[in-house]
Amino acid sequence: MALFDLPLDELRKYRSESTVPGDFDAFWDKTLRETRAHDLDARFEPVDTGLSTVRVHDVTFAGFGGHPVKGWLRLPAGAAEPLPLVVEFIGYGGGRGLPHENLLWASTGRAHFVMDTRGQGSVWGAGAGTPDPVGSAPGYPGFMTRGIDAPENHYYRRVFTDAVRAIEAARAHPLTDASRTVAIGSSQGGGITLAVGGLVPDLAAVAPDVPFLCDFPRATTLTDRPPYREIGLFLKTHHGRTADVLRTLSYFDGVHFAARGRAPALFSAGGEDQTCPPSTVFAAYNAWAHEDKTIELYDFNDHEGGGPFHEAVKLRWLRSYA
């Protein structure tokens, strides 16, 4: 697919038409307050992996509604003092995988926490361990329309709350340095990273790659690829509900979390990305509130973005923050 979205000069000026709900902050304050009424109960169980340079802990903590959420904490072997902490969120359909996977960040001498995404982990990768015990009104198969009837019921209310609690759980370990906490993720993980960036005020930095869950009004009409297409297929059946659906989704739009971002940020986008079109990524980037921000555009790449080339960029960039 050739370049299909706005030219670069327009991308750098583009602003989303998504309207922030008047009670956006109150909604999230209430959600987090209710969740924090449950004991975090973060538990770290050592795992025998056979690795010699990295130690892995199987983590369980209380997320939204007090529901148990899983994760992995990876630490460089021999670590004795609190380390910079990288908290990573996973792409759509994936899970935390196996304990010996994903060793890059621990190999840099940092603590690395990966949060399982509730109810996912059965599309790609090596599986997951976190169910989503909450039911849903009628929705299109997938996650985008689960609870689409009201923001209080929507699936991503639970996921974003889990993500905030994941930061808190990872920081609870004695070998992590809360003051040097970075959130990262790609695609859905990038969208979760944006949410965390808007909800956790004291992160050292964030790095959302080709983030999903941004600029719903444009994304749902510009691309027919899943997962955004799930929304259009739902509305194909449920005529006349577009305004209500977009209102619900506005509580989970990365653009509105970006406007509350208080940490340095490194974004990335793919110029030929039809899953998360570059204009939707730039909508969040242009809204990001912290002045220390940059974006890497990989002109001829689809949803893979910069891949290992961008990993190298992140490795260099993070030296300044954690």
Identity of the amino acid at 248: T
CA dist 55 and 66 (Å) reads 27
- β-partners of residue 87 are 113, 183
- Taken as a whole, the chain contains a residue count of 322
Q: Which two tokens stand for residue 288?
A: 């990001």
- Per DSSP, the three-state class of 115 is strand
Identity of the amino acid at 67: H
For residue 116, the 8-state DSSP code is P
Half-sphere exposure of 185 (CA within 13 A, CB side): 31
Give the ranges where the chain is alpha helix by DSSP (H).
8-11, 24-36, 104-107, 155-171, 188-199, 216-222, 228-237, 242-250, 254-258, 278-287, 307-318
| 3-class SS string, 120-141 | CCCCCCCCCCCCCCCCCCCCCC
Active site residues: 187, 273, 303
CB 53 within 8 A of CB 108: no
Q: Which helix (H) or strand (E) holds 299?
A: none
CA dist 179 and 318 (Å) reads 14
Q: Cα 287–203–113 angle (5° rounding)?
A: 115
Cα-based torsion angle of the residue sequence 268, 142, 95, 87 in order, rounded to the nearest 10 degrees: 40
- β-partners of residue 73 are 57, 113
Integer distance in angstroms from the first to the last C-alpha of the chain?
Answer: 37
